[in-house]
């Protein structure tokens, strides 16, 4: 496959290395310093774009791909207020758009465990739930996209909760789910779900040891997406 990488930071570089070891060609490695080189590409040779940029660049990057008929795999977080418009554009253009807050296979199994536990705990009185996420200090958005996905899984299962809030930025509210965000180097990513009561605590967690799992997952999705259509996510890829 011929791939363009939009966002050539730490994740973009690992994605490029993995893609090349799997026999793919990287036609362009785009960051904020060379975006104009997209104008020189022969778009007919591009099979897919993988987008791991910054929140402020994601909408522009994804829109460009969709308008040019290039299947796009995006893992950038922090821009999701624009996602409904992007999904509408993908459908209008008939170009596949794949978004995931986390491409790690292990994390996506963790999402399912979280949903199942939330359902069980929704039927159990006396527990307060919270999410804690820890990432490296270069991560700009808080909470993480993965933490938001985990929160959505809990909120879907527990009707008594009326949304989430970032702990420290909102008053304590028993009707909302607190998310605690910490930025500590060199942590690639840890997510913890805690249910606490006067009697005991229940805790599940996922800890990433490197970015390799995220990058490999993105490349696997990029290999899968050509020929697909519509708005897609990890449930489609993994057939959960």
Enumerate the known binding-site residues for NAD(+): 32, 75-77, 100-103
Task: Give me the catalytic one of 139, 140, 176, 182.
Answer: 139
Task: Give me the catalytic one of 24, 135, 191, 206.
Answer: 135
Q: How does DSSP classify residue 43? A: G
Task: Give CA–CA dist 70/165, Å, rounded.
Answer: 36
Place of tokens 């490695």: 29
Backbone angles phi, psi at 16, to 5 degrees: -60, -45
Backbone angles phi, psi at 155, to 5 degrees: -65, -35
Q: Assess whether 24 carries a catalytic annotation.
A: no
Instruction: Please name every residue paired with 81 in a beta bridge, in sequence order, or none if there are none.
Output: none
Contact status, residue 88 vs residue 63, Cβ threshold 8 Å: no
Q: Which residues are annotated as a binding site?
A: 32, 75-77, 100-103, 136, 145-146
Q: Assess whether 206 carries a catalytic annotation.
A: no
Give me the DSSP letters along 171-234.
---TTSEEEEEEE-TT--EEEEEEEE-SS-EEEEEEEESSSHHHHHHHHHHHHH-TT--SEE-H
Q: How far is CA 54 from CA 86, 100, 151, 165, 200, in A?
A: 16, 15, 22, 22, 40
Q: Which residues are annotated as a binding site for (S)-2,3,4,5-tetrahydrodipicolinate?
A: 136, 145-146
Give me the DSSP letters along 53-86.
--HHHHHHHHHHHHHTT--EEE---S-GGGHHHH
Active-site residue list:
135, 139
């Amino acid at each position: 496959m011929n791939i363009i990488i939009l966002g050539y930071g730490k994740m973009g570089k690992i994605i490029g290395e993995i893609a090349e070891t799997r026999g793919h060609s990287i036609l362009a490695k785009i960051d904020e310093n060379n975006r104009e080189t997209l104008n020189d590409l022969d778009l007919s040779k591009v099979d897919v774009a993988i987008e791991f940029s910054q929140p402020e660049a994601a909408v522009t990057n994804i829109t460009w791909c969709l308008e040019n008929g290039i299947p796009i795999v995006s893992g950038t977080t922090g821009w999701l207020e624009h996602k409904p418009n992007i999904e509408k554009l993908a459908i209008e253009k008939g170009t596949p758009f794949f978004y995931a807050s986390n491409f790690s296979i292990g994390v996506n199994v963790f999402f399912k465990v979280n949903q199942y536990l939330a359902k069980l705990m929704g039927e159990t009185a006396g527990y307060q739930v919270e999410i804690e996420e820890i990432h490296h200090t270069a991560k700009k958005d808080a909470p993480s996209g993965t933490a938001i996905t985990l929160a959505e899984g809990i909120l879907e299962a527990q009707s008594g909760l009326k949304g989430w809030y970032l702990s420290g930025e909102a008053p304590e509210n028993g009707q909302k789910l607190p998310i605690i965000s910490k930025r500590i180097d060199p942590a690639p990513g840890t997510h913890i779900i805690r249910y606490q009561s006067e009697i005991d605590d229940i805790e599940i967690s996922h800890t990433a040891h490197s970015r390799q799992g995220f990058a490999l997952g993105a490349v696997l999705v990029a290999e899968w997406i050509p020929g697909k259509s519509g708005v897609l996510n990890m449930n489609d890829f993994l057939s959960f």
